[in-house]
Homo-oligomer: A and B are copies of this chain.
Amino acid sequence: MDNTSTPAEATSNNPTVGILGLGLIGGSFARAYHAAGWRVAAFDTDADTLAIAMIDTVDTVLDDASLADCDLVILSAYPEACIAWLQSRAQTLDELGAEGPLVIDSAGVKGALCNRAFDLASTYGFTFCGAHPMAGTEHSGYAYGSADMFVGAPMVLVPPQLDDVARLELLDRAHTLLSPCHFGRFSVTTPADHDRVIAFTSQLAHVVSNAYVKSPTAQAHHGFSAGSYKDLTRVAHLNPDMWSELMIQDADYLADEIEIIINALDKYRVALINRDRVGLRELLAEGDQIKRALDDMPR
């Protein structure tokens, strides 16, 4: 088949991506690789979602046969399901040897998942690299995915412990295989550092937003709210099944961050109770200065 005239049409000569889980993130990966002309092999436990995705985006079901064709496999199911899949396919990946795909995940926590995946990869001789695309919406599911979900977004990579040469080779391979997604930039970190920072930047944001709407006053606010309320409560709407699994995997760091913001908030409360305007002004000025310094940092 001549694919020069239809570059976006998937053929068996094109590279193949395997995707486990066609939710918001997996569904966006599927669309991005399809749009770039890759073959897309995918699986989702929801048969309807898989059937819908196969109408115009997914070329074939991800199974042992199509796995053998994959250049890249992206695990986009919940963390426990990713590990279960990896365990069940480890023997197949072992048999593929050096011809096998790079396997990455896309989960929001790295410690528990990466450390088990690194062990499996080491035991069975395949290559796994942790990955966390910093993208998403407050909506869940395949229907909300899009081919440009990752355009310009940061991508955090969490490679296994390797010597410098092997590490550079792995990161270079990941960059190349992820190029159809057009990430804005790549960072590299360890599972523990990732989970410590993500507890603050992402999980705490969801907890605070989710807690915010629980005030009884929320029921009386209509017509009284501007952009600040809207921003603070946007991610109150979330997928409780996914987030509870992610948060429990990052429980210690997240519990610490919640304690930190509780202690910070209590200072404002005490200043208000004491009618301490000077103290309240200092607390507000301190936050303002920190925020401005953070915004001025190179990204």
Docked-complex contact A291 and B236, CB < 8 angstroms: yes
Q: A231-B235, A244-B284 are in contact. Are A197 and B212 (CB under 8 A)?
A: no
Docked-complex contact B272 and A251, CB < 8 angstroms: yes
In whole angstroms, how far apart are the Cα atoms of A240 and B297 in the complex? 22
Q: Is A94 an interface residue (CB 8 A)?
A: no
Task: Pick out which of these stretches binds chain B: A56-64, A114-122, A254-262.
Answer: A254-262
Docked-complex contact A223 and B255, CB < 8 angstroms: no
Q: How far is the CB of A182 from chain B (nearest CB, A)?
A: 16
Number of copies: 2
- Taking CB atoms and an 8 Å cut-off, the chain A residues in 215-264 that contact chain B are 215-229, 231-241, 243-245, 247-248, 251-252, 254-255, 257-262, 264
Docked-complex contact A287 and B211, CB < 8 angstroms: yes
Docked-complex contact B265 and A218, CB < 8 angstroms: no
Interface size on A (CB < 8 Å)?
A: 98
Q: How far is the CB of A196 from chain B (nearest CB, A)?
A: 7
**What 10 A-B pairs are tightest by C-beta distance, nearest first?**
A210-B287, A236-B291, A205-B228, A244-B281, A187-B223, A200-B217, A211-B264, A240-B285, A240-B284, A201-B225
Please name the residue on chain B nearest to A269 by beta carbon.
Answer: B258
Please name the residue on chain B nearest to A284 by beta carbon.
Answer: B240
B contact residues around A284 at 8 Å (CB): 206, 210, 238, 240, 243-244
Docked-complex contact A215 and B200, CB < 8 angstroms: yes
In whole angstroms, how far apart are the Cα atoms of A227 and B201 in the complex? 9
Q: Is A153 an interface residue (CB 8 A)?
A: yes
Question: Secondary structure at chain A's binding surface: helix, strand, loop or mixed?
Answer: helix
In whole angstroms, how far apart are the Cα atoms of A59 and B9 in the complex? 64
Docked-complex contact A201 and B221, CB < 8 angstroms: yes
Docked-complex contact B212 and A228, CB < 8 angstroms: no
In whole angstroms, how far apart are the Cα atoms of A144 and B193 in the complex? 38
Question: 15 A–B contact pairs at CB < 8 A?
Answer: A154-B223, A185-B223, A189-B224, A201-B228, A202-B225, A202-B226, A204-B215, A207-B265, A211-B268, A214-B261, A217-B257, A240-B284, A247-B280, A248-B275, A255-B269
In whole angstroms, how far apart are the Cα atoms of A136 and B228 in the complex? 9
B contact residues around A204 at 8 Å (CB): 212, 215, 232
In whole angstroms, how far apart are the Cα atoms of A214 and B298 in the complex? 19
